[in-house]
Amino acid sequence: MALIVHQALCFFCGVIAPPAQGLEARIRSMTVPSPSSSAAWPNLRSLYPVYSALARESVIEIQPCRELEDALDAPSAEAVAEAENWVAGMDQRIHPHQLRQFLQNSGAMDGDFLQQLLIHHLSKKQHTELDRDKVDFLLVQYFSQRAAFDVRDSDLSFKTVAQVLAPVVGAVEPVEPKWLAPLNDLLSDANRARNLNWLFTNRIIERGREIKQSCGEKFFEPTALAAFARFGFLIRRRFFRLMHQDLNAILDGLRDLESRGVTTLDCRKAQFAADEPIARLRMICQSWKVMFHAEYSSGQPLCILVDLRTAVEAALTQSPKPRGEELPLKTEAAAAGKGIAVAGDKATEFEVSGVPSTWDGDAAG
Same domain, 136 and 28: yes
Comparing 350 with 274, which gets the higher pLDDT? 274
Q: How confident is the model at residue 154 (pLDDT cuts 50, 70, 90)?
A: confident
In a domain, 98, yes or no: yes
Residue 10 lies in a domain: no
* C-alpha span between 335 and 294 (Å, rounded): 24
pLDDT band at residue 279 using 50, 70 and 90 as cut-offs: very high
Which of 150, 184, 212 terminates a domain? The answer is 150
C-beta separation of 38 from 74 below 8 A: yes
* 139 and 31 belong to one structural domain: yes
- Higher pLDDT pick, 260 / 27: 260
Rounded Cα–Cα distance for residues 16 and 165 (Å): 11
Name the pLDDT band for 146 (thresholds 50, 70, 90): confident
Question: CA-CA distance, 356 to 298, in Å (whole number)?
Answer: 9
Task: Flag whether 254 is in a domain.
Answer: yes
Question: Which amino acid type is present at position 49?
Answer: P
pLDDT recorded at residue 18: 31
Distance spanning both ends of the chain, measured CA to CA: 34
Please state, in angstroms and rounded to a whole number, the distance separating the CA atoms of residues 145 and 142. 5
Report the distance separating Cα 285 and Cα 303, nearest Å.
13
Q: How sure is the predictor about 108, in pLDDT bands with cuts at 50, 70 and 90?
A: low
The residues, ordered by sequence, that sit 6+ positions from 362 with a Cβ below 8 Å of its Cβ are: 269
Task: Examine residue 194 and state whether it is found in any structural domain, yes or no.
Answer: no
* Residue 349 structural domain: 245-364
Q: How confident is the model at residue 41 (pLDDT cuts 50, 70, 90)?
A: confident
Cβ 165 vs Cβ 142: under 8 Å: yes
Domain count, the chain: 2
pLDDT digits (tens, 9 = 90+) for 217-259: 999 999 999 999 999 999 988 988 899 899 999 999 999 999 9
- The sign one gets for the Cα dihedral 354, 357, 359, 360 is negative
| 155 in any annotated domain | no
pLDDT top residue among 92 and 322: 92
User: What separation in angstroms does the CA of 112 have from each of 43, 118, 322?
Assistant: 12, 10, 58
Distances (CA, A) of 345 to 3, 39, 49, 330: 15, 45, 35, 16
Q: Which of 150, 182, 200 is the last residue of a domain?
A: 150
Give the residue among 186, 187, 180 at the shortest CA–CA distance from 223: 180
Q: Could you read off the pLDDT of 260-277 as tens digits, one per residue? A: 999 999 999 888 999 999
Q: Is residue 305 part of a domain?
A: yes
Write out pLDDT tens, residues 161-212.
Answer: 999 999 999 888 888 888 999 999 999 999 999 999 999 899 998 999 999 9
Integer Cα distance of 175 and 162 in angstroms: 10
Average pLDDT over all residues of the chain: 76
For residue 227, being part of any structural domain is answered with no
319 or 34: which carries more pLDDT confidence?
319
Give yes or no: residues 249 and 352 share one domain: yes
pLDDT band at 148 (very low <50, low <70, confident <90, very high): low
E strand intervals along the chain:
264-265, 276-277
Final residue of a structural domain among 129, 150, 171: 150
Q: Which residues contact 167 (CB under 8 A, 6 or more apart)?
A: 19, 26, 115
